[in-house]
Each structure stands twice: as structure tokens, then as C-alpha cells.
Amino acid sequence: MVEITRRSLVGLASALPLLSLPGWSRAAEPAPPPLQPPSDDVLINFNESPWGPSPASRQAMQQGIALSGRYPYKLQYRLNALFARQQGVPEDHVHSFCGSKAALQHAVMAFTQAGSLVMATPSYEAPREAAEGRQVKVHEIPLDSQHRHDLTAMLAADRSAGMIYLCNPNNPTGTLTPRQAIEQALASKPKGSIMVIDEAYIDFADASTCIPLVKDHPELLVLRTFSKIYGMAGARLGLAVGQPELLERLEAYGGYNVPAASTLLGGLASLEEPGLLAERKRHNRQLLDQTITWLQKRGFTCTASQANCFMIDVRRPAQEVVDALAARQVRIGRVWDNWPNWARVSVGSEQDMQRFREAFAQVMPG
């Protein structure tokens, strides 16, 4: 049997013709209304997009049904190449996964073989769960006074760490760690420690991506997802960006799971649709600012979010508030152990946020 590696597949891709598909990104159809959940519940608990895939993406995904009898390698190479061109990195620096969580779990397994995991708290818990499942030591460093990553403390936690994880903007706080601080940390981190930057929410932020840095930093991996601003959480599509030798280290832990043809076509259409990111970022920011301003006027402190979620200090055990809102069919995010009085709220549609405000006013009267 011939062993097929990531590098050999990329080489094969250059010899294969790209599929000739209609220009779905030019489809002139009106934007559909926000997707409605199957119940009357307001679902602002998982940082999902209330708008779902764009009209162009939905149209492209429908075409994928007819292609589902074949392995979608050519579509995968096409997506990788398009994203690489848009980000200004070589094509062999990008690979796609069935969601960025899969890439993140592979990274934990690959990079903590002989060292610990260092991460912030509160933050996205998937890397901690993956590490603890393998009995890997985890150092959780509290966010600083501005709810950003305390990079100085993180670098000092273990000078032989296997992996340093940054979610930026951070989930659940939505707060942003400046790129300049990240560049300084890259220059001073322990040699051999791999820095993994999860940019699931970067398209909502007024900040530059760290993707260009991978060209000069062989120990940097950047993750991106289509689950958030592109509204494809249920389709499962993510990207890992790093130098080829670093990406190849992920292969030993399950290889590369290829997304479905419909998913890849939806991702391609999303990348090619002009104005989509700017419009969704604007709409998200409007609803985020409106909601936080309303809460602040009622005397509540919120994190300075640049994502599609934020946290509120409810000044009492937050789980009580989560449960009380759920009883009113408004479901918000969970509570982190070391922030017991804070609750996370995702940004939904205008109707979602209106119902949230109404329910919150009943649960937490001024």
C-alpha cells in the first residue's frame, strides 16, 4: 500500500483540474431572514450565527449533494489554495478539517507529547479537556485585569511547555489580546513550545490576523473556523495554518478528516462572496453594543468584547440567572468555575436580543 501523506496529496492536487462550478458568489438573490430554531427558545448560548450560511453558500452547498458519490479532495485543495491566496501564505501552509476543534484536538495530542499545556482561564475548554484525557499537565493562567491573556505569566508557567494556547478574541469573554503582545511572546517563548492561536472570532474584531506570522515562525499554528461569522457551525469546516513540517505533525493523530463536498462548496462560496464579512461584522457590532449599553445603564459590568459573545457580572451566582432565563425560554451560555458570578451571552438576531433584554429585566429587576 502506498502511504498518502498531506504533502503528497497537495502535490497531487496541482496535477488535477479544478472542478468547473457555477459562479454562486454572483447569485443575486435577497438575503433570507435569520434562521429560526425549531422551538420558541432564544438560543444565544453556543456562539452560533443567527443568520446561518449566506445565500450564495446555501446555493453552493445544494450542488454538493450531486458530488457526494466521490471523495472531495479536489474541492479541499481548491479551498486551501483560495484561503492561502487571500491570506498571503503558501498553499502548503493551509489544511482544512471537519471543524477547527478537530485541528485543535490533534494539536494538543501532537504537541504535548513531552510537555505541558499552558492556556488562559476562563477560555475555550476543548484543549484542556483533550490534554486531561491524556493525563497531560495543564497550567491555567487567569486573564489579566483587562480580561486579556497574561502572556508574561503564561510564558513563565512552564519553560518547557509543549503547547501554549491562545483563543483570540477569547471565548467566553470576547476580549482581544493585541497582536504586538503576541509577537513579543513569540520572540521570547521557550524554544520547542508550539504556540497555537485560535482565531475563531477574529473576523468580528478590529484587529489583524496572526496568519502572516507563520511564514517566519515554524513553531506557530493558527486556527480558523467557518462556524462563527460564516454561519456554518453545523456544517463543520475549519482550517489550520502553519509551516508544512508543523502540519505534518498532526497527521499521526487521526490523519486529516476531509469535510463533505457540500461543506467545502459552502466554504468556497463564503470566501468568494464580496462584502459578506463586513456586513455581518457591522450587524454583530451594532447588536453587541446595543445590548451591552442597555446592561451598563442598568448597572451591570460587561467584558469589552470584540467577538459575537460577551460576559456579564450578574453579582450573584450566575447559574441561578442562567436557569431563570431558561425558564423564560431564553438560553444563554454556561458558567465558568473561576468566574462564578459571570454569565456568557451570545449575540443573536435583533428579535433574540430583544427577548433577552425583556427576560433579563424580569430576572434582574433594576
Please state the domain extents for the chain.
59-272, 277-363
Please check whether the domain covering 59-272 is classified as CATH 3.40.50.700. no
Cell numbers placing 284: 454583530
Cell numbers placing 61: 452547498
Question: Would the CATH topology of 59-272 be identical to that of 277-363?
Answer: no
What is the full per-residue pLDDT of the chain (366 aa) written as tens digits? 334 344 444 443 433 333 444 444 444 444 555 555 557 999 999 999 999 999 999 999 999 999 999 999 999 999 999 999 999 999 999 999 999 999 999 999 999 999 999 999 999 999 999 999 999 999 999 999 999 999 999 999 999 999 999 999 999 999 999 999 999 999 999 999 999 999 999 999 999 999 999 999 999 999 999 999 999 999 999 999 999 999 999 888 765 578 999 999 999 999 999 999 999 999 999 999 999 999 999 999 999 999 999 999 999 999 999 999 999 999 999 999 999 999 999 999 999 999 999 999 999 986
DSSP helix/strand/coil, 225: strand
Question: Whole-angstrom Cα distance, residue 162 to residue 176?
Answer: 24
> Residue 70 gets which letter from DSSP?
S
49: nearest Cα among 319, 264, 276 = 276
pLDDT confidence of residue 252: 80
DSSP helix/strand/coil, 130: helix
Greatest CA separation for the chain: 70
* Fold exhibited by the domain 277-363: Aspartate Aminotransferase, domain 1 (3.90.1150)
Residue with grid cell 474541492, as numbered in its chain: 75
**What are the residues whose beta carbons fall under 8 Å from the beta carbon of 289, sequence distance 6 or more?**
none
Burial 222-258 (b: 16+ CB within 10 A, else e): bbbbbbbbbbbbebbbbbbbbbeebbebbbeeeebeb
Question: Whole-angstrom Cα distance, residue 358 to residue 366?
Answer: 12
Q: pTM of the prediction?
A: 0.90
Amino acid identity of residue 232, one-letter, is M
The sign of the CA dihedral 163, 167, 173, 179 is positive
